Structure 1
Amino acid sequence: MAVTRAQRRAFFAAWLGYLLDGFDFILITLVLTEIAAEFGLSLTQAATLVSAAFVSRWLGGLVLGAIADRYGRKPAMILAILAFSVGSGLCGFAWDYWSLFAFRAVVGIGMAGEYGSSATYVLETWPKHMRNRATGFLLSAYPVGTVLAAVAYDLIVPAGGWRWLFYAGLVPIALTLYLRRSLPEAAEWEADGGGSSVLFAPGRRLVNALVAAVLTTALVLVFSRTATGWPLIAVVVLGLLALTVQLAGRRWPVVVAVIATVFCAFLYSWPVQSLLPTYLKTELGYAPGAVSTALTWAGLGYAAGSCLAGILGDRLGTRRAYVLGLFASLAFVFPVFALPPGNVVLLWVLLFGMQATSQGISGLLPKYIADHFPTRMRAAGLGFSYNVGALGGAVAPLAGAAIAEQAGLGNALTLLAVVLTLAVAALVGFNLPARLEPMSRMWLSRRETSRKPHS
């Protein structure tokens, strides 16, 4: 069955919103050096501003996902694009480190909701045999957004300063909101009759709101490096686990395995995503124009790789295509960070190949995750598990910067990319979530047995 005109139109609206998501989210990585200079921050402190958006993503994925499951995919998509657009615009008005941290957290809420609601919408709109292609093509919008951001950086920052780069993210919002308002609702969600999250049941709202407040506070303290230590990390882990058990019920081990897979995926990809501009400017000494060009080729590779991943996923299967792409990426990582300054064209080619394989293959992640959830809780399940795992993206720039202090930034990025790529390949290849499904059934069986009266 071919894709209809209405399905293509729905896809384009979701694709455009995700493009803006990529544009707004990546801006902070382009101007870390300028922000650090204005606010008097070290590289490690500036890197926490990348992490700020990840601190709030779990909340955005959960809340906007629950809205998508209860009221429909379309209203959740509209709320998501409003959140990350307003947050990005506010970043241009930041007056110090903490105001910028807070505005980046608003961007994170919107980005999380955009990923969960748009990916779910497209999955439930396209034919089932083309759903790897649907998510691969959808996620190609994100790197196109990063390419536009790199071009905007080259045009705007040298002349107007870093703040105007954030203001530019507000320009296309009206068009995207108009397109989304005119969309039909996802047919599969309508046929299922909608759902609601147990997390927001009347008897649990207050307790879960308190848990969310404690979690958010702990994450801000940890990722701003205001406070550290195992007690805070334990609070984060236990709080997220409590919400996971409520959301997934007996299938919570499966969801934990999905979260672990996504966490490792962010740890291998986001040191490169967040610190590559800094690496090119500081260790290789490239000017803003050269950095912009290099990031353009990297973004084009990411976009092409996402589309190719979707095609391969439909032909070979999601997991097989995913693992194949991960192993292929290892051929590019070492040459990229061993390349001396001056080899500009070769750098473009290697960045294109590396991002096409390592980042592009993540176009299969929404399909891989969504397969573990029924329609009635798909948006919340996808949004929550993906964005809790995305905390790896908050750890990534901090880990990269910390290792860089001892081994250099290039060596740090290489180490994290290689080790964590192999970890994700193992988790996906051995299909850990599916292997834990029997454990979920056994846990439920024991629970039901314990409730039966003994004769």
Structure 2
Amino acid sequence: MAVPPPAPSFRRLPREQYKAFFAAWLGYLLDGFDFILITLVLTEVQADFGLSKAQAATLVSAAFVSRWLGGLVLGAIGDHFGRKPAMILSILTFSAGSALCGFSWGYWSLFAFRVLVGLGMAGEYGSSATYVMESWPPKMRNRAAGFLLSAYPIGTVLAALAYGVIVPNLSWRWLFYLGLIPIALTLYLRRSLPEAREWQEEVAGRTGVTTSSILFSPKRRLPNAVLAVVLSVALVLLFSEHSGGYGPWLTALVVLGFAALAVQLAGRSWPVMLAIMATVFAAFLYSWPIQSLLPTYLKSDLGYTASQVSTALTWAGLGYAAGSCLAGVLGDKLGTRRAYVLGLVVSLLFVLPAFALPAGNVVLLWVLLFAMQATSSGISGLLPKYIGDHFPTRLRAAGLGFSYNVGALGGAVAPLAGTAIASGIGSLGTALTVLAGGLTLVVALVVGLDLPARLGRALRIDSGAPALVTPERTVRIEHSEH
């Protein structure tokens, strides 16, 4: 892995780039706040609606059912109309979905509103990440991605603090009513922000092929709409655990449907897109069992109070945020892949101790959670840069949004896998250790060996994506820039 040259200084960034970053960061913070609420109140919802633990876990998975569609459609809007309008539409969608969760009257209504949250969150991830990266200089884009993603865990910290104050005194529904707050942000975004510079220079006003022209062309519009409905129904049946005996067939149908969309979206680069999806899927399987089931583990297995759980999640979220910022700095100094693999390997030192610790060791648990999240989830702050490098600018928002959010279905599988393993071995902590440790190694190997890009170069795919440029050509380009 070649070490890149030193990145430019923050002092040289113009005011517009700072403003673009802050707006996207704030939107992503509110996204993290809204998305994580269901994991905090899972035991309260379970008791209120009379659900089993497995049924309650599917409510975490519900938002992942729609993420692929949000990443695809809102990403296509971002590629065609600009990053800013896609970001605004995404924030409106997840805010409305979160507020509606507070009005849910049973399992299926809450499941449906969580699906709406997932649609918006997926679009927010792709549009915010591409907006910031394409507004900042290329040699600072690991920092742009890492600092941006630090907003998500800070949002989860605020949610945990709100949980500790609101739920004991009011009810779990009041947490979701706060979802209306982000709507005010969209007014600021609409009036104050410029469009992303790189999108304006390379895509705006041109008639070249973009994701929207591919997916929504007259010949493909209706078949793709039917495919989207079929995939959505199949995923709802799978992740609400209502598939009956057809689970394997529905899974195969979903895989084939996503492959068909990838072929349309990425053209000859579709094998690269599928490899990215598999990588992100494994990444969610190591990180999301912890993020989604940690509150349940702390309350059910260790017997901690709501206040203690809130404190634990605060330290875990702060570790996640600090790790995201550190990942961005290391990514620009060492290279994206080198920094990513380093963080994953170091995280393995904290996974086993964190979940082997018995109840009562409060301070040590907080320290371990901080360190574990800083090096495991925090290092994922490099994911937008890593994924985005595999797509050209004209396809980047939808390419990043679709591949990331299809892979994010690993987050829907994660709580189900965690509870299934826990029921088999009798320990949720051990189940979380097995998933986090094993899948971390898989992702470290895939990223370290550069498998998606190697696959693209082996197939001689020349899409203009930075990751697929041969090392020799990269050196020539860098010399010409200097």
- TM-score band (shorter)? over 0.9
Residue 172 and residue 383 in structure 1: after superposition, are their counterparts in 2 closer, same or farther (change >3 A)?
A: closer
CA distance in 1, matches of 2:303, 2:319: 23
Question: Structure 1 unaligned runs (5+)?
Answer: 445-455
Deviation at 1:443, TM superposition (A): 12
Counterpart check, 1:271 vs 2:299: no
Deviation at 1:173, TM superposition (A): 2.7
Alignment of 1:55-454 (within 5 A): 55-194=65-204, 196-197=210-211, 198-227=214-243, 228-407=246-425, 408-441=427-460
| Sequence identity (%) | 74
Equivalent AA in structure 1 for residue 251 of structure 2: I
Deviation at 1:180, TM superposition (A): 4.3
Preserved CA contact (<8 Å) 2:269 2:461: no
CA distance in 2, matches of 1:20, 1:10: 16
Deviation at 1:58, TM superposition (A): 0.2
CA distance in 2, matches of 1:179, 1:76: 11
CA distance in 2, matches of 1:110, 1:423: 29
1:341 is paired with a residue of what secondary structure? coil
Moved more, 170-179 or 120-129: 170-179
CA distance in 2, matches of 1:150, 1:418: 25
Deviation at 1:30, TM superposition (A): 0.2
Equivalent AA in structure 2 for residue 294 of structure 1: A
Question: Structure 2 unaligned runs (5+)?
Answer: 1-7, 464-482
TM-score, length of structure 2 as denominator length: 0.91
1:436 is paired with a residue of what secondary structure? helix
CA distance in 2, matches of 1:439, 1:324: 26
2:219 is paired with a residue of what secondary structure? coil
CA distance in 1, matches of 2:354, 2:386: 29
Equivalent AA in structure 2 for residue 437 of structure 1: G
CA distance in 2, matches of 1:135, 1:264: 20
Moved more, 337-346 or 180-189: 180-189
CA distance in 1, matches of 2:120, 2:446: 28
Quote the RMSD (CA, aligned, Å): 1.3
CA distance in 2, matches of 1:67, 1:415: 39
Following TM superposition, the consecutive aligned residue runs of length 4 or more in structure 1 with deviations greater than 4 angstroms are none
2:112 is paired with a residue of what secondary structure? helix
2:359 is paired with a residue of what secondary structure? coil
CA distance in 1, matches of 2:449, 2:91: 36
CA distance in 2, matches of 1:64, 1:16: 19
Deviation at 1:439, TM superposition (A): 4.5
Map of 1:39 onto structure 2? 49
CA distance in 2, matches of 1:4, 1:259: 35
CA distance in 2, matches of 1:168, 1:386: 27
Residue 75 and residue 249 in structure 1: after superposition, are their counterparts in 2 closer, same or farther (change >3 A)?
A: same
Equivalent AA in structure 2 for residue 432 of structure 1: L
CA distance in 1, matches of 2:38, 2:173: 10
Equivalent AA in structure 2 for residue 171 of structure 1: I
Deviation at 1:182, TM superposition (A): 1.5
